[in-house]
């Protein structure tokens, strides 16, 4: 082996990772070659110097410093994650849920309070649309009760609900409660407590068709337009009533209130009832008819009873005084209506001609 080859092997020899044969060759050469022995010594010295390097100690703050940086990094990472993902994965569902909840609550509250809010406006609306209420009264009379939420609840649409007689005791009790509450809450005290005016008392005597048909077509149309609101209320109230029991009770009150108020208005519209005492009703009857014709009365209808002749007609309010004056020429006139409080426009009049027995 030459010195160059030996010096290449020296590092491995020093590490002890050389084959026994190569090791023997190296050792033989080193014992005879001073130059190579010197190189070997330098190599050993180098290794010793490197291995003799002292370990440095970390500064006392080192762990703390590293951990503070790690924690700061963790926080910033959290913030980034929160900024980027928190709103998407957690917050949005919460917000969405809250929004939906609020919306549902708002709708529920609105639905629950809607009938009461409408009820506040009911009296004014129904007074204006009295004739429509009469129209709506008709089905109320015939139906008598309404099915709500699968249970039949009697609604007092008119003062004489025939079918209520067949209703159960519970229904009657509930109706009574509704009516009492209605009087306390919705009907103005004056209307609820004051005795009915004479006109109201006459209401049943006047045929219903009298008031229904006694108005000009344009007014009927206007009334119908007015009356659309209560009709819609009916629909809304019914639909609302299906949502909750509370709404149901309120609906009944509102419905009942409107019908009662409507009945009052109707009774005022049937304005004038006149009793004419004459000796011979059949003789006077054509004169009265002529008189009505002269005054422009319409829809003149006659009815003969055993003791009386009855004429019904529609007449302008302004003509009523003239009618009364001229009737006085024919016999003794008694007014049952309050002519001073007659509504303007066309009113229904009823003239009952009575002869002494």
Partner 1 sequence: MDEDLEFVTLCQRGDVNAFKPLVEKHQKKMLNIAYRMVGDYEAACEVVQDAFLHAYKAIRKFRGEASFSTWLCRIVINLSKNRIKQMKTHSEREGVSLDAPIETEDGQVSHDPPSEEPSALEQMERKEVQTAVQVCINALDNDYREVLVLRDIQGLSYDEIGEILKIPDGTVKSRLFRARDALKEGLRKVFGELA
Binding residues for partner 1, rule: CB under 8 A, are 11-12, 15, 17, 38, 41-43, 45-47, 49-59, 62-63, 65-67, 69-71, 73-74, 77
Minimum separation from the CB atom of position 114 to partner 1 (A): 52
DSSP 153: E
Instruction: Note the residue count of the chain.
Output: 357
Closest distance between partner 1 and the C-beta of residue 73, in Å? 6
Tokens of 143: 């139906």
User: If residue 282 lies in a helix (H) or strand (E), which one and from where to where?
Assistant: helix 281-294
Nearer Cβ to partner 1 (67/100): 67
**Residue 75 C-beta-side C-alpha neighbours within 13 Å:** 6
Q: How far is the CB of 250 from partner 1 (least distance, A)?
A: 56
Nearer to partner 1, 65 or 301 (CB): 65
Joined tokens for residue 88 = 């998407």
Q: Closest distance between partner 1 and the C-beta of residue 25, in Å? A: 17
Q: Give the shortest CB-118-to-partner 1 separation in angstroms.
A: 58
Nearer to partner 1, 45 or 91 (CB): 45
Comparing CB distances to partner 1, the nearer of 38 and 242 is 38
Q: Which uninterrupted H or E stretch holds 348?
A: strand 346-354
* Phi-psi domain of 144 (left: phi exceeds 0; alpha: psi -120 through 50; beta: other): left
- Name which of 5 and 41 has its Cβ closer to partner 1: 41
As to burial, measured by CB atoms within 10 angstroms (0-12 exposed, 13-18 middle, 19+ buried), residue 295 is middle
CB of 22 to partner 1, least distance (A): 14
Q: At its nearest, how many Å lie between partner 1 and the CB of residue 90?
A: 16
**Closer residue to partner 1 in complex, CB, 35/103:** 35
In angstroms, the Cα distances linking 94 to 88, 89, 144, 244 are: 10, 9, 50, 28
**What is d(CA 338, CA 197) in angstroms, rounded to the nearest whole number?**
9
Q: Which residues, listed in sequence order, are joined to residue 311 by a DSSP beta bridge?
A: 302, 351
Q: Which is nearer to partner 1, 72 or 102 (CB)?
A: 72
* Nearer residue to partner 1 within complex by CB, 37 or 171: 37
Residue 134 near residue 229, CB atoms below 8 Å = no
Full 3-state SS string of 288-332: HHHHHHHCCCEEEEEEECCCEEEEEEEEEHHHHHHHHHHHHHHCE
Sign of CA dihedral 130, 133, 137, 138: positive
Give the shortest CB-54-to-partner 1 separation in angstroms.
6
């Amino acid at each position: 082996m030459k010195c160059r080859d030996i010096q290449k092997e020296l590092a491995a020899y020093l590490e002890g990772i050389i084959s026994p044969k190569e090791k023997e060759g190296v050792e033989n050469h080193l014992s005879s070659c001073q130059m190579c022995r010197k190189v070997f010594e330098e190599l050993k010295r180098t290794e010793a110097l490197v291995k003799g390097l002292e370990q440095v100690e970390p500064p006392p703050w080192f762990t703390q410093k590293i951990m503070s940086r790690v924690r700061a990094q963790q926080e910033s990472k959290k913030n980034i994650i929160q900024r980027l993902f928190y709103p998407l994965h957690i917050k949005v569902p919460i917000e969405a849920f809250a929004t939906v909840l609020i919306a549902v609550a708002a709708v529920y509250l609105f639905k629950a309070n809607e009938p009461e809010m409408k009820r506040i406006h009911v009296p004014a609306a129904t007074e204006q649309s009295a004739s429509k209420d009469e129209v709506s009264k008709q089905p109320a009379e015939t139906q008598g009760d309404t099915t709500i939420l699968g249970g039949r609840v009697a609604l007092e649409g008119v003062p004489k609900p025939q079918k209520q007689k067949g209703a159960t005791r519970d229904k009657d009790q509930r109706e009574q409660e509704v009516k009492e509450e209605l009087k306390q809450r919705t009907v103005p005290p004056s209307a609820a407590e004051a005795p009915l005016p004479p006109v109201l008392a006459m209401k049943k005597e006047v045929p219903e068709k009298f008031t229904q048909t006694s108005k000009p077509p344009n007014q009927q149309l206007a009334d119908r337009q007015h009356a659309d609101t209560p009709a819609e209320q009916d629909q809304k109230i019914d639909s609302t009533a299906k949502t909750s029991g509370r709404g149901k009770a309120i609906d009944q009150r509102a419905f009942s209130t409107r019908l009662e108020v409507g009945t009052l208005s109707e009774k005022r519209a049937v304005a004038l009832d006149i009793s004419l005492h004459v000796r011979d009703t059949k003789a006077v009857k054509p004169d009265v008819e002529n008189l009505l014709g002269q005054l422009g009365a319409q829809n003149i209808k006659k009815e003969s009873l055993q003791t009386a002749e009855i004429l019904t007609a529609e007449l302008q309010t302004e003509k009523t005084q003239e009618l009364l004056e001229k009737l006085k020429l024919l016999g003794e006139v008694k007014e049952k209506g309050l002519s001073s409080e007659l509504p303007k426009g066309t009113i229904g009049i009823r003239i009952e001609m009575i002869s002494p027995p």
